[in-house]
Protein backbone atom coordinates (compact mmCIF):
# COMPACT_ATOMS: atom_id res chain seq x y z
CA UNK A 1 0.00 0.00 0.00
CA UNK A 2 1.30 3.47 -0.85
CA UNK A 3 0.78 5.80 2.08
CA UNK A 4 2.47 8.79 0.48
CA UNK A 5 0.83 12.02 1.67
CA UNK A 6 -2.14 10.06 3.04
CA UNK A 7 -2.98 11.88 6.26
CA UNK A 8 -5.32 9.09 7.36
CA UNK A 9 -2.50 6.54 7.38
CA UNK A 10 0.55 8.69 8.11
CA UNK A 11 1.47 6.87 11.32
CA UNK A 12 1.92 3.61 9.43
CA UNK A 13 4.81 5.01 7.44
CA UNK A 14 6.21 7.23 10.20
CA UNK A 15 6.04 4.34 12.66
CA UNK A 16 7.88 1.99 10.32
CA UNK A 17 10.49 4.63 9.52
CA UNK A 18 11.28 5.51 13.13
CA UNK A 19 11.13 1.95 14.45
CA UNK A 20 13.40 0.56 11.75
CA UNK A 21 16.12 3.11 12.52
CA UNK A 22 15.96 2.37 16.24
CA UNK A 23 16.26 -1.36 15.62
CA UNK A 24 19.21 -0.89 13.27
CA UNK A 25 21.10 1.21 15.82
CA UNK A 26 20.16 -1.20 18.59
CA UNK A 27 21.85 -4.01 16.67
CA UNK A 28 24.85 -1.88 15.72
CA UNK A 29 25.53 -1.14 19.38
CA UNK A 30 25.15 -4.67 20.74
CA UNK A 31 26.92 -6.70 18.05
CA UNK A 32 30.44 -6.56 16.71
CA UNK A 33 33.81 -5.10 17.77
CA UNK A 34 32.90 -1.49 16.92
CA UNK A 35 30.05 -1.28 19.42
CA UNK A 36 32.16 -0.56 22.57
CA UNK A 37 33.42 2.70 21.06
CA UNK A 38 29.89 4.12 21.21
CA UNK A 39 29.78 3.61 24.99
CA UNK A 40 32.58 6.16 25.31
CA UNK A 41 31.54 8.53 22.53
CA UNK A 42 27.78 8.62 23.31
CA UNK A 43 27.31 7.04 26.75
CA UNK A 44 23.69 8.07 27.41
CA UNK A 45 22.51 7.56 23.85
CA UNK A 46 24.32 4.24 23.62
CA UNK A 47 22.70 3.04 26.84
CA UNK A 48 19.24 3.92 25.50
CA UNK A 49 19.84 2.24 22.15
CA UNK A 50 21.27 -0.89 23.76
CA UNK A 51 18.63 -1.29 26.46
CA UNK A 52 15.39 0.31 25.27
CA UNK A 53 15.48 0.67 21.47
CA UNK A 54 14.65 -3.02 21.03
CA UNK A 55 11.11 -2.16 22.15
CA UNK A 56 10.65 -0.66 18.68
CA UNK A 57 9.87 -4.20 17.51
CA UNK A 58 6.45 -3.66 19.11
CA UNK A 59 5.79 -0.92 16.58
CA UNK A 60 6.31 -3.41 13.74
CA UNK A 61 4.12 -5.99 15.45
CA UNK A 62 1.19 -3.60 15.89
CA UNK A 63 1.55 -2.17 12.38
CA UNK A 64 1.81 -5.71 11.06
CA UNK A 65 -1.52 -6.62 12.63
CA UNK A 66 -3.06 -3.37 11.41
CA UNK A 67 -2.04 -3.94 7.79
CA UNK A 68 -2.81 -7.67 7.83
CA UNK A 69 -6.33 -6.93 9.06
CA UNK A 70 -6.88 -4.34 6.34
CA UNK A 71 -6.02 -6.85 3.63
CA UNK A 72 -7.21 -10.10 5.22
CA UNK A 73 -10.06 -9.24 7.60
CA UNK A 74 -11.06 -5.56 7.20
CA UNK A 75 -14.00 -5.58 9.63
CA UNK A 76 -15.14 -8.08 12.28
CA UNK A 77 -18.08 -9.22 10.20
CA UNK A 78 -16.25 -9.41 6.89
CA UNK A 79 -14.40 -12.71 7.38
CA UNK A 80 -14.84 -14.68 4.16
CA UNK A 81 -11.80 -16.91 4.46
CA UNK A 82 -12.41 -20.61 4.96
CA UNK A 83 -10.08 -23.22 6.41
CA UNK A 84 -9.81 -24.60 2.88
CA UNK A 85 -8.36 -21.22 1.77
CA UNK A 86 -5.88 -21.01 4.64
CA UNK A 87 -2.92 -22.91 3.12
CA UNK A 88 -2.98 -20.87 -0.08
CA UNK A 89 -3.19 -17.53 1.74
CA UNK A 90 -0.38 -18.45 4.13
CA UNK A 91 1.77 -19.75 1.29
CA UNK A 92 1.20 -16.50 -0.60
CA UNK A 93 2.49 -14.58 2.41
CA UNK A 94 5.55 -16.85 2.57
CA UNK A 95 6.26 -16.18 -1.11
CA UNK A 96 6.01 -12.44 -0.57
CA UNK A 97 8.46 -12.52 2.34
CA UNK A 98 10.93 -14.92 0.74
CA UNK A 99 12.76 -12.86 -1.95
CA UNK A 100 14.20 -10.29 0.46
CA UNK A 101 14.97 -13.03 2.96
CA UNK A 102 16.94 -14.96 0.32
CA UNK A 103 18.91 -11.84 -0.53
CA UNK A 104 19.62 -11.18 3.14
CA UNK A 105 20.72 -14.77 3.75
CA UNK A 106 23.11 -14.67 0.80
CA UNK A 107 24.55 -11.35 2.00
CA UNK A 108 24.86 -12.66 5.57
CA UNK A 109 26.68 -15.86 4.55
CA UNK A 110 29.12 -13.96 2.31
CA UNK A 111 29.71 -11.19 4.84
CA UNK A 112 30.28 -13.68 7.65
CA UNK A 113 32.83 -15.57 5.55
CA UNK A 114 34.64 -12.28 4.87
CA UNK A 115 34.52 -11.38 8.56
CA UNK A 116 35.89 -14.76 9.68
CA UNK A 117 38.83 -14.29 7.34
CA UNK A 118 39.62 -10.76 8.50
CA UNK A 119 38.83 -10.47 12.21
CA UNK A 120 38.16 -12.45 15.34
CA UNK A 121 34.81 -11.65 16.94
CA UNK A 122 32.48 -14.00 18.85
CA UNK A 123 29.37 -12.43 17.30
CA UNK A 124 30.35 -13.51 13.79
CA UNK A 125 28.25 -16.49 12.65
CA UNK A 126 30.05 -19.73 11.85
CA UNK A 127 29.93 -21.23 8.37
CA UNK A 128 26.37 -22.45 7.83
CA UNK A 129 25.41 -26.10 7.64
CA UNK A 130 22.87 -27.42 5.15
CA UNK A 131 20.27 -28.11 7.88
CA UNK A 132 20.80 -24.57 9.14
CA UNK A 133 20.26 -23.09 5.68
CA UNK A 134 17.16 -25.23 5.11
CA UNK A 135 15.72 -24.18 8.46
CA UNK A 136 16.19 -20.51 7.56
CA UNK A 137 14.59 -20.97 4.14
CA UNK A 138 11.57 -22.57 5.81
CA UNK A 139 11.60 -19.85 8.52
CA UNK A 140 11.86 -22.51 11.22
CA UNK A 141 15.36 -21.82 12.54
CA UNK A 142 14.35 -20.96 16.11
CA UNK A 143 11.81 -23.77 16.36
CA UNK A 144 14.34 -26.42 15.32
CA UNK A 145 17.10 -24.78 17.39
CA UNK A 146 19.41 -23.72 14.56
CA UNK A 147 21.73 -20.74 15.21
CA UNK A 148 20.65 -17.54 13.46
CA UNK A 149 22.69 -16.50 10.44
CA UNK A 150 21.78 -12.83 10.78
CA UNK A 151 20.06 -10.38 13.10
CA UNK A 152 16.43 -9.63 12.33
CA UNK A 153 15.65 -12.83 10.44
CA UNK A 154 13.68 -14.14 13.42
CA UNK A 155 11.06 -11.44 12.84
CA UNK A 156 10.29 -12.66 9.31
CA UNK A 157 9.47 -16.11 10.68
CA UNK A 158 7.26 -14.59 13.38
CA UNK A 159 5.49 -12.39 10.83
CA UNK A 160 4.60 -15.46 8.77
CA UNK A 161 3.30 -17.26 11.86
CA UNK A 162 1.24 -14.25 12.95
CA UNK A 163 -0.29 -13.84 9.51
CA UNK A 164 -1.13 -17.54 9.42
CA UNK A 165 -2.67 -17.35 12.90
CA UNK A 166 -4.82 -14.34 11.96
CA UNK A 167 -5.92 -16.08 8.75
CA UNK A 168 -6.90 -19.15 10.80
CA UNK A 169 -8.90 -16.99 13.22
CA UNK A 170 -10.67 -15.32 10.29
CA UNK A 171 -11.57 -18.73 8.90
CA UNK A 172 -12.81 -19.91 12.30
CA UNK A 173 -14.90 -16.75 12.68
CA UNK A 174 -16.45 -17.32 9.28
CA UNK A 175 -17.19 -20.97 10.08
CA UNK A 176 -18.58 -20.17 13.53
CA UNK A 177 -20.88 -17.53 12.09
CA UNK A 178 -22.30 -19.97 9.55
CA UNK A 179 -22.94 -22.62 12.22
CA UNK A 180 -24.32 -20.24 14.85
CA UNK A 181 -27.98 -20.88 15.65
CA UNK A 182 -28.37 -17.92 17.99
CA UNK A 183 -28.82 -14.26 17.34
CA UNK A 184 -25.12 -13.57 17.84
CA UNK A 185 -23.87 -11.31 15.07
CA UNK A 186 -20.83 -12.19 12.94
CA UNK A 187 -19.04 -9.11 14.28
CA UNK A 188 -19.60 -10.15 17.89
CA UNK A 189 -18.28 -13.65 17.22
CA UNK A 190 -15.20 -12.22 15.50
CA UNK A 191 -14.44 -9.78 18.32
CA UNK A 192 -14.86 -12.47 20.96
CA UNK A 193 -12.58 -14.83 19.06
CA UNK A 194 -9.88 -12.21 18.53
CA UNK A 195 -10.04 -10.82 22.07
CA UNK A 196 -10.00 -14.31 23.55
CA UNK A 197 -6.88 -15.19 21.57
CA UNK A 198 -5.25 -11.92 22.57
CA UNK A 199 -6.02 -12.51 26.25
CA UNK A 200 -4.52 -16.00 26.04
CA UNK A 201 -1.42 -14.41 24.56
CA UNK A 202 -0.87 -11.78 27.25
CA UNK A 203 -1.98 -13.95 30.18
CA UNK A 204 -0.05 -17.09 29.25
CA UNK A 205 2.19 -17.26 26.18
CA UNK A 206 3.76 -13.83 26.64
CA UNK A 207 4.83 -14.76 30.17
CA UNK A 208 6.76 -17.84 29.02
CA UNK A 209 10.51 -17.20 28.83
CA UNK A 210 10.99 -19.54 25.88
CA UNK A 211 7.78 -18.67 24.06
CA UNK A 212 9.20 -16.04 21.73
CA UNK A 213 9.74 -18.50 18.89
CA UNK A 214 5.96 -18.84 18.45
CA UNK A 215 3.31 -16.42 17.17
CA UNK A 216 1.05 -16.56 20.26
CA UNK A 217 3.81 -14.90 22.31
CA UNK A 218 3.49 -11.79 20.13
CA UNK A 219 -0.22 -11.88 19.34
CA UNK A 220 -0.99 -9.52 22.22
CA UNK A 221 0.63 -6.68 20.27
CA UNK A 222 -0.41 -7.94 16.82
CA UNK A 223 -4.03 -8.25 17.92
CA UNK A 224 -4.03 -4.64 19.09
CA UNK A 225 -3.18 -3.64 15.54
CA UNK A 226 -6.08 -5.71 14.22
CA UNK A 227 -8.50 -4.02 16.64
CA UNK A 228 -7.15 -0.59 15.65
CA UNK A 229 -7.78 -1.40 11.97
CA UNK A 230 -11.32 -2.51 12.74
CA UNK A 231 -12.03 0.61 14.78
CA UNK A 232 -10.65 2.94 12.12
CA UNK A 233 -12.60 1.20 9.36
CA UNK A 234 -15.89 1.32 11.27
CA UNK A 235 -15.36 4.82 12.64
CA UNK A 236 -16.02 3.57 16.18
CA UNK A 237 -12.82 5.05 17.56
CA UNK A 238 -14.04 5.93 21.05
CA UNK A 239 -15.41 2.47 21.77
CA UNK A 240 -12.33 0.80 20.26
CA UNK A 241 -10.06 3.00 22.36
CA UNK A 242 -11.88 1.91 25.50
CA UNK A 243 -11.49 -1.74 24.49
CA UNK A 244 -7.79 -1.29 23.69
CA UNK A 245 -7.17 0.48 27.01
CA UNK A 246 -9.03 -2.21 28.95
CA UNK A 247 -7.07 -5.03 27.33
CA UNK A 248 -3.71 -3.34 27.86
CA UNK A 249 -4.55 -2.43 31.46
CA UNK A 250 -5.58 -6.01 32.20
CA UNK A 251 -2.33 -7.31 30.73
CA UNK A 252 -0.25 -4.86 32.76
CA UNK A 253 -2.12 -5.74 35.95
CA UNK A 254 -1.17 -9.37 35.41
CA UNK A 255 2.45 -8.34 35.00
CA UNK A 256 4.00 -5.04 33.99
CA UNK A 257 5.51 -5.27 30.51
CA UNK A 258 6.76 -2.08 28.92
CA UNK A 259 6.54 -3.74 25.51
CA UNK A 260 2.77 -4.12 25.85
CA UNK A 261 2.35 -0.58 27.15
CA UNK A 262 4.16 0.69 24.05
CA UNK A 263 2.08 -1.58 21.81
CA UNK A 264 -1.09 -0.08 23.27
CA UNK A 265 0.16 3.44 22.56
CA UNK A 266 1.02 2.54 18.96
CA UNK A 267 -2.42 0.99 18.44
CA UNK A 268 -4.09 4.19 19.63
CA UNK A 269 -1.91 6.25 17.26
CA UNK A 270 -2.93 4.04 14.35
CA UNK A 271 -6.58 4.24 15.37
CA UNK A 272 -6.74 8.02 15.66
CA UNK A 273 -3.86 9.12 13.40
CA UNK A 274 -3.32 12.35 15.40
CA UNK A 275 -1.66 15.29 13.61
CA UNK A 276 -1.93 13.27 10.41
CA UNK A 277 -2.50 16.25 8.13
CA UNK A 278 0.36 18.20 9.71
CA UNK A 279 2.80 15.27 9.45
CA UNK A 280 1.80 14.56 5.85
CA UNK A 281 2.52 18.19 4.93
CA UNK A 282 5.77 18.43 6.87
CA UNK A 283 9.17 18.59 5.22
CA UNK A 284 10.08 15.34 6.94
CA UNK A 285 7.28 13.38 5.34
CA UNK A 286 9.16 12.55 2.14
CA UNK A 287 12.09 11.24 4.17
CA UNK A 288 9.79 9.18 6.40
CA UNK A 289 7.99 7.72 3.39
CA UNK A 290 11.34 6.71 1.90
CA UNK A 291 12.61 5.19 5.14
CA UNK A 292 9.34 3.29 5.54
CA UNK A 293 9.51 1.94 1.99
CA UNK A 294 13.02 0.56 2.48
CA UNK A 295 12.52 -0.47 6.13
CA UNK A 296 12.16 -4.22 5.47
CA UNK A 297 15.29 -4.35 3.35
CA UNK A 298 17.29 -2.25 5.82
CA UNK A 299 16.00 -4.40 8.67
CA UNK A 300 17.41 -7.53 7.01
CA UNK A 301 20.56 -6.18 5.35
CA UNK A 302 22.13 -3.99 8.01
CA UNK A 303 23.79 -6.89 9.81
CA UNK A 304 25.73 -8.18 6.76
CA UNK A 305 26.77 -4.60 6.08
CA UNK A 306 27.92 -4.30 9.69
CA UNK A 307 30.03 -7.46 9.39
CA UNK A 308 31.75 -6.19 6.24
CA UNK A 309 32.43 -2.67 7.55
CA UNK A 310 33.62 -3.95 10.94
CA UNK A 311 36.09 -6.27 9.25
CA UNK A 312 37.61 -3.44 7.20
CA UNK A 313 37.77 -1.04 10.14
CA UNK A 314 39.34 -3.62 12.47
CA UNK A 315 41.96 -4.37 9.82
CA UNK A 316 42.75 -0.71 9.13
CA UNK A 317 42.40 0.79 12.64
CA UNK A 318 41.99 -1.92 15.29
CA UNK A 319 42.78 0.38 18.24
CA UNK A 320 41.32 3.71 17.13
CA UNK A 321 37.99 4.50 18.86
CA UNK A 322 37.27 7.44 16.54
CA UNK A 323 37.56 5.15 13.54
CA UNK A 324 35.23 2.68 15.21
CA UNK A 325 32.59 5.36 15.75
CA UNK A 326 33.01 6.47 12.14
CA UNK A 327 32.58 2.82 11.14
CA UNK A 328 29.26 2.64 12.96
CA UNK A 329 27.98 5.74 11.16
CA UNK A 330 29.27 4.42 7.84
CA UNK A 331 27.52 1.10 8.49
CA UNK A 332 24.24 2.91 9.06
CA UNK A 333 24.57 4.96 5.86
CA UNK A 334 25.57 1.94 3.77
CA UNK A 335 22.67 -0.03 5.25
CA UNK A 336 20.27 2.64 4.03
CA UNK A 337 21.90 2.53 0.60
CA UNK A 338 21.74 -1.28 0.49
CA UNK A 339 18.10 -1.23 1.57
CA UNK A 340 17.26 1.31 -1.12
CA UNK A 341 19.01 -0.65 -3.86
CA UNK A 342 17.49 -3.96 -2.78
CA UNK A 343 14.00 -2.48 -2.60
CA UNK A 344 14.33 -0.91 -6.03
CA UNK A 345 15.61 -4.17 -7.50
CA UNK A 346 12.79 -6.25 -6.05
CA UNK A 347 10.15 -3.70 -6.99
CA UNK A 348 11.38 -3.83 -10.57
CA UNK A 349 10.79 -7.58 -10.76
CA UNK A 350 7.48 -9.13 -11.92
CA UNK A 351 4.70 -8.73 -9.36
CA UNK A 352 4.61 -12.41 -8.48
CA UNK A 353 8.33 -12.40 -7.63
CA UNK A 354 8.50 -9.30 -5.43
CA UNK A 355 9.13 -9.23 -1.76
CA UNK A 356 6.97 -7.39 0.72
CA UNK A 357 7.69 -5.63 3.96
CA UNK A 358 6.57 -7.65 6.94
CA UNK A 359 4.65 -4.71 8.24
Secondary structure of residue 275 in the 3-state scheme: coil
Q: CB-hemisphere CA count at 13 Å for 349?
A: 13
CA distance 24 to 56: 10
Taking only the tens place, the pLDDT of each residue in 90-144 is 999 999 999 999 999 999 999 999 999 999 899 899 999 999 999 999 999 999 9
> Given CA atoms 323, 329, 333, 338 in this order, what sign does their dihedral have?
positive
Per-residue pLDDT tens digits of the chain, which is 359 residues long: 344 456 779 999 999 999 999 999 999 999 999 999 999 999 999 999 999 999 999 999 999 999 999 989 999 988 878 889 999 999 999 999 999 999 999 999 999 999 999 998 998 999 999 999 999 999 999 999 999 999 999 999 999 999 999 999 999 988 765 555 454 577 888 899 999 999 999 999 999 988 999 999 999 999 999 999 999 999 999 999 999 999 999 999 999 999 999 999 999 999 999 999 999 999 999 999 999 999 999 999 999 999 999 999 999 999 999 999 999 999 999 999 999 999 999 887 654 444 444 55
CA distance 28 to 49: 9
285-293 and 10-28 helices, crossing angle to 10° = 70
CA distance 119 to 331: 17
Specify the DSSP class assigned to residue 85.
Answer: T
215-234 and 186-203 helices, crossing angle to 10° = 140
The answer to whether 62 touches 267, Cβ cutoff 8 Å, is: yes
Closest by Cα among 38, 22, 63, 34 to 271: 63
Angle of CA points 228, 229, 230, to nearest 5°: 90
Q: Which residues contact 59 (CB under 8 A, 6 or more apart)?
A: 15, 16, 18, 19, 262, 266
Closest by Cα among 289, 276, 213, 219 to 20: 289
Q: What is the model's pLDDT at position 8? A: 79
First and final C-alpha spacing in the chain: 11
Global model pTM greater than 0.85:
yes
CA distance 106 to 313: 22
Closest by Cα among 314, 359, 355 to 104: 355
Closest by Cα among 30, 69, 25 to 169: 69
Neighbours of 139 (CB within 10 A): 20
CA distance 34 to 29: 8
Extract long-range pairs of 108-117: CB within 8 Å, 24+ residues apart. Answer: 108/149, 108/150, 108/153, 108/303, 108/304, 108/307, 109/149, 110/304, 111/303, 111/304, 111/305, 111/307, 111/308, 112/149, 112/304, 112/307, 114/307, 114/308, 114/311, 115/307, 115/308, 115/310, 115/311, 117/311
Amino acid sequence: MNNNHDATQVWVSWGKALASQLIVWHHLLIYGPLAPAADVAWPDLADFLQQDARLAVQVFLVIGGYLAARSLWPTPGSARLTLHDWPARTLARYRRLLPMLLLALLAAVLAAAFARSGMSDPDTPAAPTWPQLLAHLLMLQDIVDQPALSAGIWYVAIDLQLFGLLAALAALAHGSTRRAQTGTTPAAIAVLLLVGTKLASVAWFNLEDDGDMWAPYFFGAYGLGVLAAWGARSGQRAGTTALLASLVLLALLLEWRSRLALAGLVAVLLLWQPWGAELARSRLDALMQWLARISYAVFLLHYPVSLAVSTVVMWAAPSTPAAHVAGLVLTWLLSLAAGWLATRWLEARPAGMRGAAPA
